[in-house]
């Protein structure tokens, strides 16, 4: 096939909102370059049979911790439908399969059908680099949580990107031990990285150049940054319908001073416990700063918020329940800071608007992301207890005040504005996608 003809790319993400949305954003950009994308997903109802009958599709969408391994097991049952699509349902034939970490079995399926594979990592390059080469994922030399509290010996430059001991204790078992799906997350990463034709990372050289170079060395294969592809603004007709219910929130923001409001959110997969909600509430109250907080709680907010919190923060604070138009809120001129769980996609959404970050990592790779962001001067992490990793309201308040107001936090605010010119630049980010697609074109199957 001629290398200048349009590509046909099948895109197969893991079934979590934090993965689906970035895959959609990248797919949209590839289509705008004139190529065909088949976006492959699955009805949760269709794959729910291996799961407990007590689980509902809304449970799956929220992906609570105990259900994730079961969802991965159900997801693994999609091997045959994927093979059927790649072998017969795709016209014209698929050139490349762009897959996620969870679908480790998809790579050999695609290869057997003469389809090349690219692993798209939605994890930061520093987080990937600190995990190490593929062999380290299934035959690790680091055998205790304490080993993960310092940078590994394959990192040749000084860095603070490492776990703290409470984080390492949690991540160690979750990453390297098999779960109810039958394999560990580390095994999924290992096979996917080892077997794919190339690794694409949601990153850019302006932020992680040293980690990108390291990843090429330890993976021993092509590693391409594809930029950060922050979410595109919806069409006005769609926006008007989708955001009508949020008119009050935007009118409230319109009355606030430029850059004075902190937006607080912890993503779609983090589940705050009661004590964490109370300490965050306390920190927001003590800071005296105006805030918007995207918060979900199963039995209603009155059950978990401190008594009198609404009255004491009336007029300067707003809590939004359920889904919120996060990108629109982050982009409002009144918002100047983002208190975040440090999920890589959320970080992208905040930095594209030049917001200074208040870092409160919770699970997975978020601790490593937080260390990188603080190392790069883009945000400041909230202090935590060394024994159990807990944070308190005083630490939250002090970090908020530093990053948002104090002279000592001026550097964070300036660095975030500087990175806006990169992460928030359509021209810069689109150039990464263009280079990625050109590589796919020049390395398509014979």
406: domain CATH number is 3.40.50.2000
pLDDT (average), residues 233-247: 57
- Same-domain pairing of 432 and 388: no
pLDDT of residue 363: 84
* Number of structural domains in the chain: 2
Q: Is residue 142 predicted with pLDDT exceeding 70?
A: yes
Name the residue with tokens 């046909």.
8
CA angle at 89 for the pair 88 and 93, rounded to the nearest 5°: 75
Q: Is residue 355 part of a domain?
A: yes
Name 374's Cβ contacts closer than 8 Å, sequence gap at least 6.
160, 359, 380, 381
pLDDT the model gives residue 200: 97
pLDDT band per the 50, 70, 90 thresholds, residue 229: confident
For 105, residues 6+ apart whose C-beta sits below 8 A from its C-beta are: 76, 79, 191
- Is the pLDDT assigned to residue 240 strictly greater than 80? no
By residue range, what is the domain housing residue 365? 236-423
The verdict on 295 and 181 lying in the same domain is no
The mean per-residue pLDDT over the stretch 372-379 comes to 96
Q: Is residue 2 part of a domain?
A: no
Both 294 and 319 in one domain: the answer is yes
In a domain, 3, yes or no: no
Structure letter (DSSP) for residue 293: E
Are residues 243 and 224 part of one domain?
no
1 within some domain? no
The answer to whether 418 and 376 have CB atoms below 8 angstroms apart is: no
Residue 15 domain-assigned?
Answer: yes
Please give the pLDDT value at position 49: 40
41-97 confidence digits (pLDDT tens): 876 434 444 443 333 333 343 445 677 788 888 899 999 999 999 998 767 899 999
- Are 328 and 214 contained in the same domain? no
pLDDT band at 233 (very low <50, low <70, confident <90, very high): low
Contacts of 261 (CB under 8 A, 6+ apart): 253, 289, 290, 291, 292, 332, 334, 335, 336, 337
- 153 and 176, same domain (yes or no): yes
Q: Are residues 381 and 304 in the same domain?
A: yes
Looking at the structure, do residues 225 and 359 belong to the same domain, yes or no? no
Residue-level pLDDT at 104: 93
- Domain match, 176 and 295 both: no
Average model confidence (pLDDT) across the chain: 88
Residue 235 has pLDDT above 90, yes or no: no
pLDDT at 138: 81
Same domain, 97 and 208: yes
* Half-sphere CA count of 294, side-chain side, radius 13 A: 23
Q: Give the pLDDT confidence score for residue 62 in this predicted structure.
A: 42
Partnered with residue 292 across adjacent β-strands are 263, 318
- What average pLDDT does this structure show over 11-34? 91
Give yes or no: residues 260 and 329 share one domain: yes
What pTM, to 2 d.p., does this model score?
Answer: 0.89
Q: How confident is the model over 323-337, as a mean pLDDT?
A: 92
Q: Are residues 339 and 352 in the same domain?
A: yes
């Amino acid at each position: 096939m001629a290398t200048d003809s349009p590509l046909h790319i099948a895109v197969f993400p893991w079934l979590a909102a934090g993965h689906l949305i970035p895959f959609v954003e990248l797919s949209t950009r590839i289509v705008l370059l004139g190529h065909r994308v088949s976006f492959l997903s699955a009805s949760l109802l269709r794959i729910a049979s291996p799961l407990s009958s007590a689980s509902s599709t809304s449970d799956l969408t929220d992906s609570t911790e105990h259900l994730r391994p079961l969802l991965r097991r159900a997801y693994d049952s999609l091997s045959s439908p994927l093979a059927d699509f790649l072998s017969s349902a795709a016209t014209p034939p698929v050139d490349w399969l762009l897959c996620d970490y969870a679908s480790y079995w998809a790579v050999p399926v695609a290869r057997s059908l003469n389809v090349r594979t690219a692993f798209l990592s939605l994890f930061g390059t520093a987080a990937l680099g600190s995990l190490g080469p593929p062999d380290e994922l299934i035959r690790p030399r680091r055998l205790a949580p304490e080993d993960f509290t310092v940078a590994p010996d394959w990192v040749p430059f000084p860095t603070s990107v490492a776990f703290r001991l409470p984080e390492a204790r949690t991540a160690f078992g979750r990453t390297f031990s098999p779960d109810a799906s039958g394999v560990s997350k580390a095994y999924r990463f290992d096979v996917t990285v080892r077997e794919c034709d190339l690794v694409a990372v949601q990153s850019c050289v302006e932020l992680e150049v040293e980690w990108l170079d390291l990843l090429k060395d330890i993976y021993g294969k092509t590693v391409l940054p594809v930029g950060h592809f922050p979410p595109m603004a919806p069409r006005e007709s769609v926006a008007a319908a989708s955001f009508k219910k949020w008119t009050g929130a935007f009118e409230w923001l319109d009355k606030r001073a430029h850059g004075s409001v902190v937006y607080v959110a912890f993503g779609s997969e983090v589940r705050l416990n009661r004590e964490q909600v109370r300490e965050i509430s306390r920190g927001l109250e003590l800071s005296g700063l105006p805030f918007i907080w995207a918060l979900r709680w199963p039995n209603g907010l009155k059950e978990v918020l401190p008594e009198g919190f609404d009255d004491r923060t009336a007029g300067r604070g707003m809590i939004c329940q359920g889904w919120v138009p996060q990108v629109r809120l982050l982009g409002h001129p009144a918002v100047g800071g983002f208190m975040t769980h440090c999920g890589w996609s959320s970080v992208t959404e905040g930095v594209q608007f030049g917001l200074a970050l208040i870092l409160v990592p919770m699970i997975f790779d978020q601790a490593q992301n937080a260390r990188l962001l603080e190392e790069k001067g883009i945000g400041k992490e909230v202090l935590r207890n060394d024994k159990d990793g807990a944070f308190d309201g005083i630490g939250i308040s002090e970090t908020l005040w530093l990053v948002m107001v104090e002279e000592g936090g001026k550097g964070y605010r300036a660095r975030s504005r500087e990175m806006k010119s990169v992460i928030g630049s359509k021209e810069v980010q689109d150039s990464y996608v263009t280079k990625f697609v050109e590589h796919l074109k020049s390395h398509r199957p014979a």
